[in-house]
Structure 1
């Protein structure tokens, strides 16, 4: 049975980006923190950090942000970079400003390049992050690919063969599944996460990827109607779908 984690209030709120411990203490002193509808003045108090805490605690009249252990699904738009430091639009820009100050930081689970859109996962749970990207887990990722030229009828067999070697590498790719949608469109499911893997796979067959959109990770798909740039917190049941 897993023990419920506990934390001092000032340490918890500081780690969630609400300010330094002294700043959190000042919020409490002026009556800005409530727990179970009562004023919480002593920020040295230890409390249980449970998923229902945002429903029980308010900061300046607003519900507490999601507690550590968040998993986010984002419909990544084109043009955004999966980085904390690069110039230009970053995927973290769509999150609330305060969430950028969380410790541990929220990071992407794997990456989608700037010109790839679709399902992107983010989390502050390092253990979960490594389970999803671990080669031993063989988590499936499915991409919708728009190609410059018609598909060669032999491409599906080549991708499934475990013999395809990418340029500059000395280890063949694991088998991948190709589902042809039209002459120039396909769904490709891979279990690895090599650098620009999907683009390089089609380049190895003499074709060029014009559009690339990730539709699924494991058994998890983008929520219906989620527009580019929108995001949701995942439930435990939805997180479990990743490993199906």
Structure 2
């Protein structure tokens, strides 16, 4: 590890500006969140320049060699944030042992190792974020931050008003698992089309919500993730987030701390 002597407490050298907390480095490498990184450091499985580091708050230089459980990790010089209009028949993982198409078969970046933020089912379409910023990705998917997700579901039959009310108040989708209250909007021109606004992202949640009151989801499209939409993107197309969009996401999770 590289350190730098300071002449006074207030002085800052050029090398100091290039230092980064070890837990942040691990998180930005896309491995785990900062909290989990601290647990790895405490467990003694993190090495910097072949020396085990167990002290929380340790700072390292970007050029230091870091391993976790013996595996080298690194962060790219800049973080990448991508919005994909996910198509059907596509797995939200970085690889698939069955050889099925994944989102990384669509978004191919030569120098950046990116990961999906959360998951969409194989045949669910719409907004999907991908990034190599592990710390932000963890916050966006954590329930405490209550990120708004807007879905448009096509059902096998018209949704009754009493079932819509039940969904809006929270329904049991698994034993002892009750969903949070949400907003339910039925399309007046086609009552088989329903918009759900959720603030959590449990596995297969939307489909389970409707199944709990006797409906089958025929198709599902995520229209918004926070204020991000697929406007201007065809299925299978993607774009990089703007600086303003990235700043708004960071501000959102910072403001939602509890």
Answer whether TM exceeds 0.5 for this pair: yes
What is aligned with 2:86?
76
Deviation readout 1:75-118 (Å, 9 max, x if unpaired): 0010010112212111001123524xx3xx31000010111000
Deviation readout 1:39-65 (Å, 9 max, x if unpaired): xxxxxxx99xxxxxxxxxxxxxxxxxx
Count of matched residue positions in the alignment of Structure 1 and Structure 2: 180
Structure-2 separation of matches of 1:107 and 1:4: 28
Structure-2 separation of matches of 1:206 and 1:154: 12
Query: 1:218·1:241 contact (CA, 8 Å) conserved in 2?
Result: no
Matched, 1:124 2:132: yes
Structure-2 separation of matches of 1:126 and 1:79: 26
Aligned ranges 1:50-89 → 2 under 5 Å: 67-86=77-96, 87-89=99-101
When the two chains are superposed, the root-mean-square deviation of aligned CA atoms in Å is 2.4
Aligned ranges 1:194-209 → 2 under 5 Å: 194-209=202-217
Aligned equivalent of 2:240, options 223, 230, 233: 233
What is aligned with 2:200?
192
Matched, 1:170 2:173: no
TM-score of the aligned structures, taking structure 2 as reference length: 0.64
What is aligned with 1:115?
123
Query: 2:127·2:228 contact (CA, 8 Å) conserved in 1?
Result: no
Query: 1:81·1:89 contact (CA, 8 Å) conserved in 2?
Result: yes
Structure-2 separation of matches of 1:148 and 1:190: 21
User: Is there any run of 5+ residues in structure 1 with no aligned partner, and where?
Assistant: 8-14, 16-45, 48-65
The answer to which of 149-158 and 119-128 deviates more is: 149-158
Query: 1:156·1:177 contact (CA, 8 Å) conserved in 2?
Result: no
Match of 1:154, SS state, is: helix
Query: 2:155·2:217 contact (CA, 8 Å) conserved in 1?
Result: yes
TM-score of the aligned structures, taking structure 1 as reference length: 0.68
User: Is there any run of 5+ residues in structure 2 with no aligned partner, and where?
Assistant: 1-15, 21-28, 30-61, 64-75, 254-258
Relative to 1, partners in 2 of residues 1:241 and 1:93: Cα closer, same or farther, differing over 3 Å?
same
Query: 1:179·1:186 contact (CA, 8 Å) conserved in 2?
Result: yes
What is aligned with 1:137?
145
Deviation readout 1:210-231 (Å, 9 max, x if unpaired): 0100010112212x22111111
Matched, 1:217 2:225: yes
Structure-1 separation of matches of 2:17 and 2:183: 41
Aligned equivalent of 2:105, options 70, 86, 93: 93
